[in-house]
Amino acid sequence: MAAISGATEQSINEPSSLPSPPEAQHGDQDLSDDDNVDNAAREDLGNNASTKKKKKRKPKKKKAAGSGTTKQSNPPRVPLSLIFLNNQYPAGEEVEYRNENSFRTTSEEKRHLDRMNNDFLEEYRHGAEVHRQVRQWAQKNIKPGQSLTEIAEGIEDGVRALTGHQGLEEGDNIKGGMGFPTGLSLNHCAAHYTPNAGNKIVLQKEDVMKVDFGVHLNGRIVDSAFTMTFDPVYDNLLAAVKDATNAGVKEAGIDVRMSDIGAAIQEAMESYEVVIGGQSLPVKCIRNLNGHSIVQYSIHGSKSVPIVRGGDQTKMEEGETFAIETFGSTGKGYVRDDMETSHYAKKADVANVSLRVSSARTLLNSISKNFGTLPFCRRYLDRLGHEKYLLGLNNLVSSGIVEAYPPLCDIKGSYTAQFEHTILLRPNVKEVISRGDDY
């Protein structure tokens, strides 16, 4: 999810699905003359029995620790708890700290602190593996001609199934499921667009689509995004943004200043050009979009991670979680609110406000019980059976209880791209929790 300024499917080692060949079973064979079996037949049977007795059982392949025998379906609908036993989910990319923090790798004190956060790590790794499996299915199956609604619901159905939380019972979505609505922002729109009810937009071959969604378990949000295109003319645009995100991930770490991360991102991003329609265009950082810290049940923490050079001397700290996301554009490199709003989130620690609109009171009660401070979209309210709620929703926004996140767009005719990873600054190692074989 953008902050605005002021693993391929997981492979699972399993036991061989082929049954081991059974030992040949032989009873005593009566080969007497009374049974009219001649010597030749007797000799053949003896040879066959001898041959079969020499066969040995094939050793079973050892399965990976924590792996069950259940395979993922296509589309993904099998809860990961049935595939990975004892909550042993794959780790992300673990990167040792550098320079003055290199001592953390071998420090017994830091390792002990890391072990104290085992539950926290399991929840993040669970969510990250859900994100990887769902997005890799999406990358293989999203095609021009599909509606944005079909694409969004396919991703969200996968997330809910794999986390084991459908979100239809009161409070279930707060336990796990969607941590951020599926953003499907096209072309000059950079972020925060998902189809509302009745949306008829169909994906076209010439579109550049940012796919941004979050997964959470117990409020531990994994926020990750990628960009899809179907025309190689946009390859350099995607390469620029992917390179910039990786530069930010590499630079990030404990005690690193935000300004240094922004400088590394901008240097990587703006070293690229893209040729579209015979015109060479520089790839610009969208300077008023940022990465952000993530805290439990709140996708936007108090810290921002710039994607351009600046003077922010704020440092990253041990134990924090960040979304490192970058946006590149062939336009002005600056976004403004545009189009119909779909994304919302209840603000944390809001003082009691007297609501005069009865539908606003009813809706707030439902939002609090089903989403808490997690972001949601209008389709999620439709799914819970709410009708004619726009008056109440707008009243909650105007009262300062719910934050609206309208789509963020550069100039029309431009193209934007996004890549994003979630990183954990563990005491002894940096873990790029959402890293996969795809990006």
- Catalytic annotation, pick one of 123, 243, 420, 431: 420
Rounded Cα gap, residues 417 and 227, in angstroms: 6
What DSSP letter does each residue of 265-315 carry, written as one string?
A: HHHHHTT-EEEETTEEEE-EE-TTEEEEEEBTTBSS-S-EE-SS------B
- Catalytic annotation, pick one of 212, 243, 251, 431: 212
Contact between residue 324 and residue 333 where contact means Cβ atoms under 8 Å apart: no
- Catalytic annotation, pick one of 126, 188, 216, 292: 292
Q: Which amino acid is at 157?
A: D
Rounded Cα gap, residues 113 and 358, in angstroms: 49
Is 26 a catalytic site residue?
no
Is 420 a catalytic site residue?
yes
Two tokens, residue 62: 């050892």
Q: Which is it for strands 279-282 and 343-346: parallel, antiparallel or unpaired?
A: unpaired
- Catalytic annotation, pick one of 123, 325, 410, 431: 325
- Catalytic annotation, pick one of 216, 300, 343, 421: 300
Q: To 10 degrees, the CA torsion angle through 251, 255, 260, 264? A: 0
Is 325 a catalytic site residue?
yes
The residues, any chain, with a CB within 8 Å of residue 202's CB and separated by 6 or more, are 144, 145, 146, 147, 148
209 half-sphere exposure, CB direction, 13 A CA radius: 27
Rg (CA), the chain: 27
Is 38 a catalytic site residue?
no
Is 109 a catalytic site residue?
no
Q: Is 6 exposed, middle or buried (0-12, 13-18, 19+ CB in 10 A)?
A: exposed
The residues, any chain, with a CB within 8 Å of residue 425's CB and separated by 6 or more, are 252, 253, 254, 316, 317, 318, 319, 320, 321, 322
Going from the C-alpha of 216 to that of each of 169, 174, 294, 295, the distances in angstroms are 17, 9, 12, 11
- Catalytic annotation, pick one of 207, 223, 251, 410: 223
Q: To 10 degrees, the CA torsion angle through 166, 133, 125, 92? A: -160
Among all residues, which ones are annotated catalytic? Answer: 212, 223, 292, 300, 325, 420
